[in-house]
Structure 1
């Protein structure tokens, strides 16, 4: 059974496919042995899935790590979706400050904090959230991920070296062709892929997913 601990274990680079919108795509990811999937609950995302259309998520419990992506969302909805068995982990992908994560820390609900990176200065608050992991993505004000843009991986490498006990998830413009290099150069706990494994926003390309798994030697 996939667990958050195994997903974040630095001994292997895990794979998270984000922006999943259909039961069929989710089932295929499970069948292929992908470690985690992300479902985007931000209404302005091209990959938005309304919570009422996510009734298939509880069926995946124990088969794949289920991550809910939220952008500047009050804690009530993410907390409810975890408690009702839709999600295993919350991903805060907006402009949340460490104090905005207090509700998750107090409830003992695991969460990932995503940070858009342009320079090392963007990571000044990263260790203050109490997150299980920090997801580093390309800096994209107002878009919040899924842009296909790459940032300077040396910034991610330096952050990882300075914070060896805080797992790093790498996102932003990763495609099958550069996934192996990303894994080798940054040594993250996981790669997070949205646009790099799609036919169109929210519809997954399983040849690309297979190529990612191959690139990660799985």
Structure 2
């Protein structure tokens, strides 16, 4: 799975985020999940320390490996990408357009996450020139993983007004509402953490199977 295929608007891909266990990563791969997310923000309850991330290297070419970073020194995501741990970087904090440019100039594909409360929060999306924009619930100081939904009407409007910009929808998506999210927003991908878990960082594969079905897989 390449970043380009994952971000294609032709279908809705599935990214299971907050993976902390090698066994979970292997099972996601075996099920055909397109992407997994590993959270390298130390304050996350789904934190994966870089020294515990060796299993990601073993999955190269089998599943898209997305590294999630919050206000990190950009040397860390660049190093993990360069050393073969990651295929795509997700900046989920207060990063600037310049931060995105620095990574892209190094040949690293980047998703930028935005917390959405109102239409005004989306007006700066194009400033980042990212490979994709992730729309999540606005959660100051928490930076995602809250299980709160966003206004899907705003998300759909953003998708329609930016047809060339891949949009990943996050925030409060579960097996119960995933199909409705796909239908309402038509995103390039769903990004799900708490909605696919038994507990933070431990995946529930019954939920994962239902989410795959909701994405038409």
Measured against the shorter chain, the TM-score band is: over 0.9
* CA drift at 1:75: 0.8
Contact 1:105 1:130 in 2 (8 A): no
How many aligned residue pairs are there?
217
Give the distance between the partners of 2:119 and 2:94, measured in 1 at CA: 17
Match of 2:37 in 1: 38
**Does residue 1:213 correspond to 2:183, yes or no?**
no
SS of 2:156's partner is helix
* CA drift at 1:6: 1.2
* CA drift at 1:78: 0.2
Match of 1:11 in 2: 10
Query: 1:101-180 maps to which residues of 2 (within 5 A)?
Result: 101-180=100-179
Q: Normalising by the residue count of structure 2, what TM-score does the alignment of the two structures yield?
A: 0.99
Q: Structure 1 unaligned runs (5+)?
A: none
Query: 1:45-64 maps to which residues of 2 (within 5 A)?
Result: 45-64=44-63
Q: Structure 2 unaligned runs (5+)?
A: none
Q: Normalising by the residue count of structure 1, what TM-score does the alignment of the two structures yield?
A: 0.98
Give me the CA root mean square deviation. Answer: 0.7
SS of 1:177's partner is coil
Give the distance between the partners of 1:112 and 1:184, measured in 2 at CA: 22
Superposed structure 1 runs of 4+ greater than 4 Å apart: none
* CA drift at 1:97: 1.5
